[in-house]
Amino acid sequence: MLRLCMTTGMALFLSLAPAHAEPVFGASARSKEAVSLWLGSAWRDYTSRHMTPEGAVIDDANEGISHSEGQGYGMVLAVAVDDRETFKLIRDYTYENLQVRKDHLFAWKVLHTPEGPNVADTNNATDGDLLIAWALIEAYKNWGDPEDLASAKVVLADIAATLLQQTALGPVLVPGSDGFVSGDHQTVTVNPSYWVYPALETIAEFDTSANWGEVAVVGEDVLDLSQRAPSYLPPDWVDIGGLKLVPSDKFTPEFGYNAIRVPLYLALSRNALRVKKAADFSTLRGFADPRGPSVTQIVTGEPKSVMGGIGFRAIAALTRCMDKAEPFPSELLQIGTDDYYSTTLQIFTILAIAERYPQCLSPEW
């Protein structure tokens, strides 16, 4: 049975907190126990429903595939709850089955067949690579194995060499090594949610293969320039040509299941301006709707469909609490109902609340 040590198991998220932040556990022993119990239950449910015994994290809403994003999320969460055994399982599966390219990046998509894992696409996903590197650094910080830090640096060197594209704005993260830069190199397609701000901030402390702080700042610029009337919601995908940013014509121009992560990553930042940007999402279209934010057409601002999963609603509720001190709804603590992606975002949101935003905890905790 998983036993959470809240002193070390939450070290990841304590490290994300700015110096002035007060951990929730200093305020209430009852809150400490409640969050510990919730995290223990949520993590047991997560590993039982969304992970194989071999360490593959399963995306049950996407034909049961595994991908580098899911492996990275799983590794980060395992460190956050101090579950070293599960971290090793996910890490080792990731290296054995996804690190099949000529570089040290990870193939983004793995199918599960009767014959075993089968890489279906060897292109990488840059957010997955960043999440894996971040998890390895946090594992090193928590458990002290220098091989984890060394492994992270090897991955980061190839991200720096392969996935940073210089633009008029500065260096941007290309979402994958293939297919996102035009033949004449005049247009770069990016995804604002691939800037995982807490990852970049931690990486900058341990790796010098790129100016990761600058990369994070350019990500903010991309976000700011992509948030336009009528909705001011960022598109999932953006084309950069010179100083011009427009919703990418390669994808449906909408705010959706990619960009919903942007306010969560901002909320997990140690940078006060990024935290303010997260809170500002509470005023945007759909974020006040208790049913959840909507997939929204960027050009017209028309809502298309509600993102009703608990994880998406939890992110919106977090922004409302940050901005308006609105208590976090207790129904968003329900465990065992949602798919891999929504559940992952739910757990990250609760971890953020536990260590960064204790004022969001309702008296029911």
Residues with a catalytic annotation lie at: 69, 127
Helix ranges restricted to H, 24-67: 29-50
Could you count the other beta carbons within 10 Å of the beta carbon of residue 184? Answer: 6
Q: Are 171 and 214 in contact (CB under 8 A)?
A: yes
Q: Nearest 5 degrees, angle CA 343-CA 81-CA 336?
A: 25
Residue type present at position 141: K
Neighbours of 272 (CB within 10 A): 10
Are 359 and 320 spatial neighbours (Cβ–Cβ below 8 Å)? no
E-assigned strands of 61-106? 66-67
Exposure string of 106-115, with b = 16+ CB inside 10 Å and e = fewer, is bbbbbebeee
Contact assessment for residue 349 and residue 314, using Cβ atoms and an 8 Å cutoff: yes
Q: Round to whole Å and give the CA distance between 327 and 330.
A: 9
Helix or strand holding residue 124 (H, E): strand 116-124
Beta bridge partners of 306: 294
Q: Is 21 exposed, middle or buried (0-12, 13-18, 19+ CB in 10 A)?
A: middle
